[in-house]
Amino acid sequence: MNTIAFLGIGLMGRPMAGRLAQAGYQVRAWNRTFAKAEALRDSGVEPVMDLSETVRGAQVVISMLEAGPVVAAVIDTALPALAPGTLWIDMSSTRQDEALAFHARLVAQGCRFMDAPVSGGVGGAEAGTLAIMVGGAQADVDQVVNILEAMGKPQRVGPVGSGQVAKLCNQLIVGATLNVVAEALLLAQAAGADPAAVREAIRGGFAGSRILEVHGQRMLERNFVPGGQVKSQLKDLRNVLAAAEAAGLTLPVTELVTRQYETIESALPKADHAAALLALERMNPGIRLGNSADQLP
């Protein structure tokens, strides 16, 4: 399984494809904007302009694309060029029903599929420490575990579609925690405490978290250059609510968090999702965390 077609060279796809090339795999890269794939040439990745040529002869295809409809369109275009038995690993964030539809489409053509969305942001992609949530057959996972380990820590969570369920659970926690951290730091500011010192004081207690560590510091620095984007976080939260509705659940906290992100969606779609702070500040005119200028994409 040495030849990999990597489809989608965005914020996350670029370092992920680079990690695979560094691990010794033959990686072909395709992106709708070819210049993004071309930029990986010096990393040992072969940029290819034509999608069908990218996947032809590859034993493994990895997609890291914007959303389910984009993945579906790419699969439809690539399908005639796929060899029987090709394993397609979709690492995008989609809905569970979309993952199941991709699986059915590929299996009908004699190929295989697993969904393996990730968490850890650009930093995790660059460091090869992504959390990879895998839905698929155990035999398929075993066959590509070394490939996945070149990008992070894979964990099989069930059959096809389960990876997307795990990612939704992850994004539910991330989205809610980002908003709670923003509230805590803004409360510290408004009540006269030093918000940076408050963050430092609580890091080692039960409130300590990766979100407080990374995004709490981002908020203090007012650094909203992505990482994960507002539009991506909002897409995932809406998918959480769709999954909850399908399962007969009400998730009131997720509903509130989704509405918070919706207040800044049109103005700041590409800002880091730590921009939850900006949504909160809009609700509290005159209260602002720190004195730094905003760093925005």
**Across-strand partners of 46?**
28
Q: Which of these, 178, 271, 262, lies nearest to 230 by C-alpha position?
A: 271
d(C-alpha 264, C-alpha 153), whole Å = 33
d(C-alpha 163, C-alpha 54), whole Å = 25
**Integer distance in angstroms from the first to the last C-alpha of the chain?**
38
Residue 271 is classified by DSSP as S
Cα 91–135–14 angle (5° rounding)? Answer: 15
d(C-alpha 221, C-alpha 217), whole Å = 6
Other CB atoms within a 10 A radius of the CB of residue 81 amount to: 18
Q: Which of these, 234, 245, 240, 293, lies nearest to 269 by C-alpha position?
A: 234
Per-residue tokens: 37: 């794939």
* Residue 265 one-letter amino acid: E
Residue 284 is classified by DSSP as S
Residue positions annotated with a catalytic role = 167
Q: Please state, in angstroms and as integers, the Cα–Cα distance from residue 292 to each residue in 200, 224, 227, 287, 295, following that order.
A: 19, 12, 19, 13, 9
Q: Please state, in angstroms and as integers, the Cα–Cα distance from residue 255 to each residue in 2, 164, 171, 203, 250, following that order.
A: 44, 19, 13, 27, 9
- Whether the CB-CB separation of 66 and 16 falls below 8 Å is answered with no
